[in-house]
Amino acid sequence: MRRRWTDWLGALYAALLYGFIFLPVGVLVLFSFQSGRFPIPPFNGPSLKWYQAVFADSSLTDALVNSLVVALSSSALACVLGFLSAYGLARYKLPAAGFQRALIIAPFTVSYLIIGLGLLITFNTFGVSRSLFTVGIGHVVINTPLCFAIIYSQIGDHQVNIERAARDLGASDLKVMALITAPMLAPAIAASYFLSFTFSWDEFIIAFLLSRFEVTLPVEIWSLLRSGLNPKTNAVGSIVFLFSVFILVVLEFTVFRKHKRN
Amino acid sequence: MTAEVTIENVSHRFGHFLALDGIDLTIKAGEFAVLLGPSGCGKTTLLSLLGGFLTPTQGRLLIGGTDITHLPPSARPTTTMFQDYALFPHMSLLDNVGFGLRMRGISRAERHKRAGELLELVGLPDVGLKKPHELSGGQRQRVALARALAVEPDVLLLDEPLGALDLKLRRQMQDELKAIQRRVGTTFIHVTHDQEEAMAIADLIIVMSGGQLQHVGKPEEVYLRPNNRFTAAFMGEANFIQGTVTKRSAKWVEVELPVGTRRFPISSMINEECEIGASIEVCFRPEHVELAAKTTKACDLGQAVIRDVAFFGTHHRCQFQIDAHGEQIFIGHLPQIFEPANKNKLHVLLNASDAIILPAPGTSS
């Protein structure tokens, strides 16, 4: 009897917990199908007219494309930099290796606001005008430590002999890295790429500080919100959410599954 | 493809530790050489020097007469088969075996053809498209061998390749390794700490200890006529009796042992310069112990007491104490069918021509 009672309590707790996490998302998605003018109860619909409005609004679709471009390219660069620094620190004896490692990870602990402001001041000093390019650089700065940490954790001594075998069979250092080390670390590299992508995809503060005419989606949504609540914002939000879910599913089915098998 | 390996006065230090101390050694082209010794004897260091993963502190290494001391591994006519196989986990077996050919710019079709042939040579046909994780330990080992042979090295270096296999598989792989070596003719240099493995596969055994060569010779020589106490004890179980040379002629030598004066043929002496009065050790293997005199050259060791007997299938391994020697335990292999007549008393003998006489430890050899 007692066991059943605690089970019930546990289920209630789980329901509350998941409700707390997902209710806002659920409400957001639900009211994106609202057919009235306000995303508030009562719900009357469903209707796809706000999705239609999103795709008819060129500033929103432009922002969506901008976000994609920034996320895809900045994550790729962050991965390359993260991999190279992890490889260097794992395979070579460098002066003050511990300090250098700490220095790479340091941006992790600094708030995005500080990084954004710092970059803004730097770009102003050197006369670099704000654009999608500067936003991308900002995202590389915040994501490189992440890529480094993930990849570095997976580089171990167990791969040293394998790299040595490749060198013994005639591979140059560059070929060892490209044909042996990187493919062996593919799961870690892919995981860090997708994580960087999602971080870049919904990052607001740096994108806001470092962009000017071309903006990313979070910045566009923010300016949309300033003109008041509107089911269109719900529709955009739902699209962003759908995208994140898609990446998560891809990640689950490719990278993590492969990881388990090995 | 095969070549002679010459090691000239090679020493190697790790910080203050002298891992190799003035090694001079020549391995003939096409020979199957085994570096044998306990862990820390320097055998793996020597192999790493040959492979190019370390550079010697002093000395020269030559392969086929060419100085390779300062060449990187990729530029040497050697390949190494690693202890953990070090296969490329993300590549198919064909790509693993063909990797060295790929680095030499050989087309995909051709290297796959060659890789297929090599997989067949090592007894793994039709598995080319599998990945290393789908194979058993013994199969991975064969793939590693095929990969190392694919680039037709002059010298193949094998770093304890059989260490991770179970006993039965290890014996089987030893035979195959030797057969493959005969077929390809490449000089093999194999590192192991297992003296049975060494004797089973080697043309030349190089016994090492403390960074120095102890004995270089054929398996029979190293086992039957070891030239020092370390080699004698390392190659298998051995019994030692201390004594002194009392008389010698051109044909025999007389030695004073605790049990009395015994005569041995002069050929038993490893170092024939031993003078009268020199301290020596008579060394004999357990299988040389006999219970009844078969020849006139028998050397009587006197009465003994059995301390322990264990049955090993082919023989009884017996630990006994000889009355004249007090507490010292001797080991003898007694016949498969063996009933001690007088409870646990024995009368042990030795065929004098089976024993060898070594200079006593501490005396100059």
Which residue has better confidence, B120 or A225? Answer: B120
For the stretch B74-89, pLDDT in tens is 889 999 998 888 999 9
Q: Which residues of A touch B80 (CB under 8 A)?
A: 164-165, 168
Specify the pLDDT at position A94. 86
pLDDT in tens, chain A (262 residues): 566 888 899 999 999 999 999 888 888 888 777 776 766 677 777 777 778 777 878 888 888 889 999 999 999 999 999 999 999 998 888 888 889 999 888 888 888 899 999 999 999 899 888 888 999 999 999 999 999 999 999 998 888 889 999 999 988 889 999 999 999 999 899 889 988 998 898 888 999 998 888 888 888 888 888 877 777 888 888 888 888 888 778 877 776 665 554 4
pLDDT of residue A262: 46
> Is the bond preceding residue A231 a cis peptide, omega within 30 degrees?
no
Global model pTM greater than 0.80: no
Task: Give the homologous superfamily in CATH for domain A57-230.
Answer: MetI-like (1.10.3720.10)
Contact residues of A toward B, CB < 8 A: 161-162, 164-172, 175, 180, 183-184, 186, 262
In this prediction, residues B313-327 reach a mean pLDDT of: 85
A interface mutation test: which of B74, B96, B118, B156 has the most A CBs within 10 A?
Answer: B74
CB pairs A-B closer than 8 Å = 57
- CA distance between the termini of chain A: 44
Pairing, β B329-334 against β B316-322: antiparallel
- Chain B residue numbers with beta carbons less than 8 Å from the beta carbon of A171 are 74, 99, 103
Lowest-pLDDT choice from A77-81, A192-196, B188-192, B287-291: B287-291
Residue A169 has its nearest CB partner, among B52, B90, B151, at: B151
Nearest to B306 by CA among B261, B339, B337: B339
Is B80 within 8 Å of A168 when comparing Cβ atoms? Answer: yes
* Weakest-pLDDT range from A192-206, A241-255, B33-47, B204-218: A241-255
Distance from CA of A104 to the nearest CA of B (A): 29
What pLDDT sits at residue A213?
A: 84
pLDDT at residue B110 is higher than 80? yes
Contact A168 B103 (CB under 8 A): no
Give me the mean pLDDT over the B195-218 stretch.
92
User: Residue B37 in contact with residue B207, Cβ under 8 Å?
Assistant: yes
Contact A170 B86 (CB under 8 A): no
Give Cα B298 to chain centroid, integer Å: 30
CB–CB contact B90 A164 (8 Å): no
Tokens of B210: 């403390």
- Does B111 have pLDDT greater than 70? yes
Of the candidates B235, B161, B165, B163, the one whose C-alpha atom is nearest the C-alpha of residue B195 is: B235
Tell me the CATH architecture of domain B5-233.
Answer: 3-Layer(aba) Sandwich (3.40)
Residues of B with Cβ-Cβ distance to A164 under 8 angstroms: 53, 73, 80, 82, 86
CB contacts of B49 in chain A (<8 Å) are none
Q: In the predicted model, what is the mean pLDDT of residues B237-247?
A: 90
Average predicted confidence (pLDDT) for chain B: 87
With CB atoms and an 8 Å threshold, state whether B74 touches A167: yes
What is the rounded average pLDDT of the residues B268-279? 80
- For domain B237-359, the question of CATH label 3.40.50.1820 is answered with no
Which candidate from A168, A184, A186 shows the least CB-CB separation from B74?
Answer: A168
Of residues A251 and B342, the one with the higher pLDDT is A251
Q: Where in chain B is the domain with CATH 2.40.50.140?
A: 237-359
Nearest by CB to B99, which of A169, A172, A262?
A169
Domain boundaries, chain A: 57-230
* Pairwise CB contact (< 8 Å): B73 & A172: no
User: pLDDT at position B328, please?
Assistant: 85
Of B74, B79, B84, the CB nearest to A161: B84
Q: What DSSP character marks residue B65?
A: T
Q: Which residues of A touch B88 (CB under 8 A)?
A: 162, 165-166, 180, 183-184
* Burial of B88 from C-beta contacts in 10 A (0-12 / 13-18 / 19+): buried
ipTM: 0.77
